[in-house]
């Protein structure tokens, strides 16, 4: 876990960052577990929210068992919070009703609570699956139209739309991170394009939490500096972070890494197949 000592090239961070009080939803998840450790030295207080039990590991951590579908509980948990990293929700394809409840309604409750308690910044965990039907030969930019690869992608389109609404209508500062394939190391050919390393994950999160308050709304792809990546890296004027890891360093360990990708195939790979979604529509 030595990578936690480095934050990558985050020009906004400038070393140790005083983040005040940061709330992390979905803190028991894979990304949440990594980020909470990395932010301990940056935040005065970490408020860790999840539906499952958590244990405070330092004197500056507070844990709250909260269902994001409960608006009042979310608002109570966010009282006194300076910024929110919203990672909670259903993380993959599921019945649309479940995705709407957990991802869309849950995000609405987080944004509304942040507005009510006066939080300065909300960082939303979005997904590359919003644009999964663009072909692999296409370098996708954040402002291009959505082409979700399934119901999960649709829910994340709605998440970003809610963020834009709260930025435009209520002046909340919102940054959406379209997260790539978060893994310790690439394990399949698609990951050579989509991998997001733990170290770069921390770097993107730090940069998003410390971006100037003048950043009213932004959407960026959170992906490592992979030579084969499908997505445009953030412009420095939008988010001041340059990823440092490259999936190509692991290519020799990935089966079929040298098989050329079909340039017309969807970036989402198997997630774009009808079967992947149909199993969640029909019993």
Residues with catalytic annotation? 152
Q: Which among 1, 14, 3 has a CA at the least distance from the CA of 241?
A: 14
By CB atoms closer than 10 A (0-12, 13-18, 19+), residue 255 is: exposed
Instruction: Return the DSSP state at 4.
Output: G
Contact status, residue 179 vs residue 130, Cβ threshold 8 Å = no
Q: Which residues contact 43 (CB under 8 A, 6 or more apart)?
A: 19, 20, 21, 22, 60
By CB atoms closer than 10 A (0-12, 13-18, 19+), residue 127 is: buried
Give the whole-angstrom CA distance, residue 45 versus residue 59: 9
Dihedral of CA atoms 198, 199, 203, 204 in degrees, nearest 10, equals -30
Q: Give the start-end residues of each E strand in 172-261.
A: 173-179, 181-182, 195-196, 217-222, 241-242
């Amino acid at each position: 876990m030595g990578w936690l000592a480095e934050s990558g090239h985050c020009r906004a961070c400038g070393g140790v960052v005083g983040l005040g009080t940061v709330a992390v939803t979905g803190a028991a998840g894979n990304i949440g577990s990594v980020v909470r450790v990395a932010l301990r030295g940056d935040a005065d207080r970490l408020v860790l929210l999840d539906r499952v039990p958590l244990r405070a590991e330092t004197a500056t951590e507070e844990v709250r068992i909260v269902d994001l579908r409960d608006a009042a509980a979310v608002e109570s948990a966010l009282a006194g919070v300076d910024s929110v990293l919203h990672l909670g929700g259903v993380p993959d394809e599921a019945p649309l009703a479940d995705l709407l409840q957990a991802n869309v309604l849950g995000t609405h409750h987080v944004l509304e609570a942040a507005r009510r308690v006066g939080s300065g910044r909300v960082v939303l965990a979005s997904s590359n699956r919003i644009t999964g039907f663009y072909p692999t030969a296409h370098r996708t930019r954040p402002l291009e139209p959505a082409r979700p690869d399934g119901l999960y992608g649709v829910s994340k389109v709605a998440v970003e739309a809610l963020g834009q609404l709260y930025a435009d209508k209520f002046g909340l500062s919102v940054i959406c991170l379209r997260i790539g394939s978060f893994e310790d190391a690439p394990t399949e050919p698609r990951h050579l394009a989509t991998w997001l390393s733990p170290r770069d994950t921390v770097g993107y999160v730090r940069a998003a939490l410390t971006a100037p308050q003048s950043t009213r709304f932004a959407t960026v792809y959170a992906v490592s500096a992979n030579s084969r990546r499908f997505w445009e890296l953030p412009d420095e004027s939008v988010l001041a972070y340059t990823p440092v890891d490259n999936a190509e360093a692991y290519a020799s360990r990935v089966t079929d890494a040298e098989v050329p990708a079909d340039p017309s195939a969807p970036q989402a790979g198997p997630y774009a197949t009808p079967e992947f979604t149909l199993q969640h529509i029909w019993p």
